[in-house]
């Protein structure tokens, strides 16, 4: 008989943690309102590795090991050169509102989501696009008419990209062509009616997706087709999740408060990282 994993505290006192990645033996993440990229070792030691004044979000790495960071509010992709962050691409021509999560594939191509409307002012919803940035800095639309594209994963073979549409209450899949363009769009998992709004996601070795749902305060493991096979409640709004640890069987869950001002988040420092052991490890990294 299986037992639902229990989340235990790992790191507390963050403002708004987002965009976790397991890389080179550590958990990397952005803290929006402290405007920093953090690296957390397995023993919980926290190190600041970069400062991004316009708020960092999605993280990834080029094949040569250099860090890429989404700079949210000025809508730029930054690249770490030595100790400096320099502009790798200007996203503002195709993204009118803040940019968010990102996936970087094994060839250094970056897929980047954006809000599509003024979320914090509670403006009317508007669909938007997923952007593709090539290693030489060219920016193009990879897919349009997405309902708040957020967490994104790539299958280990590099052939299928799955994106969480937070306002669409679904996970949407695309075939990935050799040049990185996307096609054969389809619904991977429809979550409408399950009380779920997917945010950050990660993929396990059995092809299931773990997703964080702020609205229902939980993380869920979902199979293709929409079957929910595991639900873990969270203390606070679940923002994102990532499988990591030496054997990739540690589920890290980031929690915070959505739609709270930067000033409130900095004052409260209620953001946190939790962790639990799960039976199925994370999928191989692209």
In this structure, is residue 250 part of a structural domain? yes
In this structure, is residue 96 part of a structural domain? yes
* Annotated binding-site positions for substrate: 100, 118
* Annotated binding-site positions for a divalent metal cation: 18, 150, 199
Q: Which of 39, 45, 2, 1 is nearest to 17 (CA)?
A: 39
Please report, for the domain that includes residue 138, its CATH number.
2.120.10.30
Structure confidence at residue 2 (pLDDT): 58
Q: Which domain holds residue 12?
A: 8-277
Structure confidence at residue 111 (pLDDT): 98
In this structure, is residue 120 part of a structural domain? yes
Q: Using a pLDDT cut of 90, give the percent of the chain over it.
A: 90
Domains identified in the chain, total number:
1
* Annotated binding-site positions: 18, 100, 118, 150, 199
Q: What is the CA radius of gyration of the chain?
A: 17
Positions annotated as catalytic residues are: 199
The answer, yes or no, to whether residue 208 has pLDDT greater than 60, is: yes
Q: Report how far apart, in Å, the C-alpha atoms of 264 and of each of 14, 52, 236 are.
A: 12, 19, 15
Structure confidence at residue 122 (pLDDT): 83
The model's pLDDT over 219-254, given as tens digits with 9 standing for 90+, comes to 999 999 999 999 999 999 999 999 999 999 999 999
In this structure, is residue 1 part of a structural domain? no
- Whether pTM > 0.85 for this model: the answer is yes
The model's pLDDT over 50-103, given as tens digits with 9 standing for 90+, comes to 999 999 999 999 999 999 999 999 999 999 999 899 999 999 999 999 999 999
């Amino acid at each position: 008989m299986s037992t639902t994993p229990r989340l235990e505290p790992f790191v507390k006192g963050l403002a708004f943690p987002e965009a976790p990645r397991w890389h080179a033996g550590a958990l990397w993440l952005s803290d929006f309102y402290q405007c920093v990229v953090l690296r957390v070792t397995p023993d919980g030691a926290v190190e600041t590795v970069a400062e991004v004044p316009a708020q960092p979000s999605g993280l990834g790495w080029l094949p040569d090991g250099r860090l890429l960071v989404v700079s949210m509010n000025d809508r730029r992709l930054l690249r770490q050169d030595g100790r400096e962050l320099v502009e790798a691409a200007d996203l503002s021509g195709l993204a009118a509102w803040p940019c968010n999560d990102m996936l970087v594939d094994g060839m250094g191509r970056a897929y980047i989501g954006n809000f599509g409307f003024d979320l914090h002012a509670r403006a009317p919803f508007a669909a938007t696009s997923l952007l593709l940035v090539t290693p030489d800095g060219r920016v193009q639309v990879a897919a349009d008419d997405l309902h708040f594209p957020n967490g994104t994963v790539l299958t280990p073979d590099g052939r299928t990209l799955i994106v969480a549409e937070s306002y669409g209450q679904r996970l949407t899949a695309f075939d990935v062509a050799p040049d990185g363009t996307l096609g054969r769009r389809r619904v991977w998992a429809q979550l409408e009616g399950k009380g779920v709004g997917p945010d950050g996601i990660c993929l396990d070795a059995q092809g299931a997706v773990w997703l964080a749902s702020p609205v229902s305060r939980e993380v869920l493991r979902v199979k293709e087709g929409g079957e929910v096979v595991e639900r873990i409640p969270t203390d606070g709004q679940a923002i994102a999740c990532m499988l990591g640890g030496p054997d990739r069987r540690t589920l890290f869950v980031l929690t915070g408060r959505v739609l709270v001002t930067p000033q409130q988040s900095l004052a409260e420092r209620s953001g946190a990282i939790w962790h639990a052991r799960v039976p199925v490890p994370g999928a191989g990294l692209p």
